[in-house]
Structure 1
Amino acid sequence: MDRLISIAARTTTRRHFAVGMALASTAALVLPRTGVIAARQDAELAEAGLPKLDITVLNDGYEGVPENVEAGRYLVTVGIAENQAFGGFGGVAFMRPPEGTTRDELLAAFGIGQQPASPGADGEVLPTTGEATGNGGPPTVIYQAAYAGGTVLEPDGTPGSVVLDLTEGQWIAWADEPSAPQVPSMFTVTGSFPDKVAEPESDISVTMVDFGIEVDGNLVAGDHILKIGNHGAQPHFLLVDRYIGSGTFDNDLMAAVLEAEMAGAEAPEGFEPERDLQNVAISLTQSIGTTSWIEASLEAGTYLAICFFPTAGTGVPHAMVGMHQVFEVSA
């Protein structure tokens, strides 16, 4: 069952969320998967005509994060520098510390800042230590922060995109992954959020609550835009996987898999996550009241939507308290 504790580096975030966070007796579990992220449609999000943020992932940081940007809704595209080796992981997400907390303090709560870093636009330097609380879960400040969402590169380095909202304040662009090698970048969002902003034309909605996921809309094979909203009090991120195994896959089986993991037992016979699940979409961490939009190409079949963000106070991954949903996509 050790393979269930960390995600393959080629796929997504949170693969070592517990590292440096002193989660009690559980690690943040993310299921590994085989294959590559299914190819997504290319230009649909751009049709909304939103301002763009083009960010390049480097081996140790980011290019293209502006020092200042106006509040608003943005099409964020993340790519990789030409001729740069890609290590199989890369993404960018956005978080803002709560009032009374500095960006350095928020990063320290994630255990980020173990090595010196260049100062940000406002002169801030990443911290050298980060301590977690002793209540069995991540520090409280992590749940008080604002998360706007984010996107990841394809495993082969193909750019990814997301539409999200940035509100006034001091923000951090980071990998949504405490153990990622990219040094977070600081930037400032100024002004009030516009009264009217364009919205991408989505045909599937994904609603995340504490602790469940609802998937509704045009669930047929093809290219789609997913509208992802967090209506829960806690932060959530979303993984969507296609089941490519040969047996029956449903919520009962997924619950049994998670229950076995909690007990340190073997997964139900016939189910191998590395073999049977293929990632098709990833939406990085969002807080309550936020919405983001991502693209996904879905084939006919059975899918799993799941979140593994640690539960406040315990550190137990949300999936283990019921935050998973199996759904069908028709031909």
Structure 2
Amino acid sequence: MAALAGIVAVGAGPLAATARQTTASAPAAAAQAAASITIMARDYSFDAPDAVSAGPVSFVLQNEGQEEHHAQFVRLNDGVTLEQFGAALRQGPAAAFPLVTFRGGPSVTRPGQTSFEVTLDLEPGTYMMLCFIESPDGVPHLAKGMVRPLAVTPSPTVVMRDFAFDVPEIRAGVQTVRVVNQGPQPHEMAIARAPDDVTPEQIAAALERLEAPPPFPMENLSGMQALSSGLEGWVTVDFVPGTYVLLCFVPDPATGLPHVALGMYAVVTVR
């Protein structure tokens, strides 16, 4: 146990398994993903990320303008293009309504104020942020340019099984990761970070020789506690480039060993 504790400061046991490594791709320059986003509203524009990961996302609107603003999210219906939506919107807001699904958003916020936090469970697709409020001249803010697209990309999904992690590509940056337990037993996803000078191969070798103290420390970054079979959750992590390890320490009823000792770990490289 002391050997494994030296790696991630939690349970241990003998381990005999081969390494599972996933190499991630570089992030798109403008893309961001977050569980909590502040939208900056001005006269007449929104300042917000270009993209977020699907799943629960919390938004607040900070009004830095001289007029009231809100942020109405709409999702373009499948098959509708931005060009089609824009052409309909130029005919008047009501002409665009059949092309979209209204998805909520922070409500009317006075100048210099911040809205209540609004949490939306977003599915992948193309969204628009709109402000329908009219200026004193009777022109709605969206007609003055207060329109901004938002791409909602599929969340990276980690699948937990008996006894393995299936890990997709994970980009550097803030990522909301969907965690799904498809195994019969409960599983957790502890996340640890390796030192920059440690390779995935060295991590795998250390995890295969838990009877000996590891030659390097691992930083425990938290993660997702145990989920019963068939359940899922989301965890938001600010991934910096480097090497990470996913581990499960839930004990196996048959052997009494933590699942990591039965091979339930994954080495993940984020670039």
Larger fraction in strand: 2
User: Highest Rg: 1 or 2?
Assistant: 2
TM-score range for the pair, normalised by the shorter chain length: 0.3 to 0.5
